[in-house]
A and B are shown apart, each in its own frame.
Chain A
Amino acid sequence: MRFFEDLEIGQRRELGSFTFTAELIKKFAAQFDPQRFHLDEEEGRKSLFGGLAASGWHVGSVCMKLLVADGQRQSKEAAARGEQVAIWGPSPGFRELRWIKPVLAGDTIHFASEIETLRWSEKRPEWGIAQARNTGANQRGDKVFSLLATAFVPRRSAGA
């Protein structure tokens, strides 16, 4: 992954796509969010969603999955170039999560992440704090998901 110094406001990463099958939607819902419209096609059709819909927490967790995979790809590339690999810190949270449109069984969602703000941590000088707008759009190009995430990113000067 990249160091704080390598990040710029407006930088966008395409994170790849994920297909929410009925089977995966029901599996996540059964464990964490067993509301009827996440478990049953007929109940989904009768609901505001208009079909079997993925739990919003499933959509967010898949976005995290693709973010981590993208970071691991970047780390591999950096290591292959003989560069030092940055290990990102934990996230203190997120804001403005919007489940804009339902993610229905069979939908393929493409996720992306764009840097919105960058600042140094006052309490931890070896870390920077980045905010990124993570979004998902379905196969028709409709935006379905958005959030503003915060993460601790290591500064190059600290570890180098």
Chain B
Amino acid sequence: MTLTFEDFPPGHFGTFGPRRVTREEILAFAAEFDPQPMHLDEEAASRSMLKGLSGSGWHLCSIMMRMMFDGYIGRTASLGSPGVNEVRWLAPLRPGDDLTLEIDVTEARVSRSRPDTGIVTFKGMVRNAAGQALCEMVSPIIVQRRAAVAVS
């Protein structure tokens, strides 16, 4: 069943994961996209504000994207996203973390310019196994309405 605009009323939507993040993944992403010492080198990381090796914030966001895809976006009539209202990196991503993603729908409205679609704004909060909040993301996606999907 494809999820459409009507399937995303405001409120709690779901909890996804856990997803294990390995040291190798953290180092590989950092080497390609964010080669700062705090993401690559144990010794330098221990002297940084984050006090130990941590994953890139962009890696964490990309993992959240994948968890959202596996959780629901992969079976949603999504047309993409215009952007991200806010990302807050609250605590470092550590090697071996098991991530859980909680998703709430904060707003759902029909698009004025494209009335066969709606704009659903999600708040995602990712936590480690200890329940510590690592990252909060607020982002809209454009989703087709059920009538439009039935026609196409």
Contacts and interface: CB of A to CB of B under 8 A. Distances in A.
Given A64-B58, A65-B34, A96 B65 contact: no
A32 B80 contact: no
Nearest to B70: A34
* Interface residue range, chain B: 35 or more
Contacts of A95: 85-87
B143 interface: no
* Interface residue range, chain A: 35 or more
A65 B33 contact: yes
A79 B86 CA distance: 35
Contacts, number: 101
A112 to B, nearest CB: 18
B72 to A, nearest CB: 12
A65 B32 contact: yes
A28 B85 CA distance: 23
Contacts of A40: none
A96 B66 contact: no
A87 B34 contact: no
Given A95-B86, A98-B83, A64 B66 contact: no
